[in-house]
Copies of this chain bind each other. A is one copy, B any other.
């Protein structure tokens, strides 16, 4: 797979969360194309599993999508923060739980066609109750979900985001019904 060559690169937006650029790229076959790409610092998702097998999800309104979603606890990496440290911080902030049993499930690009965001997915067990301290603008509702309910919640569209579906399917080994 031959490399591409960047002819020009222009940053068109430099925000607090994301940066956007438009690059002109020469492909190995000689074609020249523009590519719009978004830089994102990366994020973590944590699947907290209780002793009875239920999992702790959070329901919150997502401004970008215009609707509430039922998701695994998650958050963006702070500058210089490791994925493990970020996972422990976000778990505590959003659910109040702390743990010494944080393990990696997988990592993936969310939208590799146009963004570089990497999502690091974790599973947390041996949860110890602490106190949650969500960011002040977060309106989070904790929801305990049983493994038997996962396929239905995905099919109904209440669980409808990549990191939550990957975490639940990868941890539980569930098939999705094909329609």
Contacts and interface: CB of A to CB of B under 8 A. Distances in A.
Interface string A134-165: 00110101000000000000110100111101
Contacts of A165: 106, 108, 166, 170
B37 A1 contact: no
Contact of A63 (B35, B59, B137): B35
Contacts of A12: 12-13, 15
Contacts of A154: 106
B109 A157 contact: no
A22 to B, nearest CB: 7
B109 A115 contact: no
A116 B160 contact: no
A8 interface: no
B175 A170 contact: yes
17 contacts: A1-B141, A15-B36, A18-B114, A25-B63, A27-B137, A35-B64, A38-B38, A40-B114, A64-B115, A108-B161, A109-B162, A111-B115, A123-B178, A162-B162, A162-B163, A166-B169, A171-B176
Interface of A: 1-4, 12-13, 15-18, 20, 22-23, 25, 27-29, 31, 33-38, 40, 43, 59-66, 68-69, 71, 74, 76, 103-117, 119, 123, 136-137, 139, 141, 154-155, 157, 160-163, 165-166, 169-176, 178-179
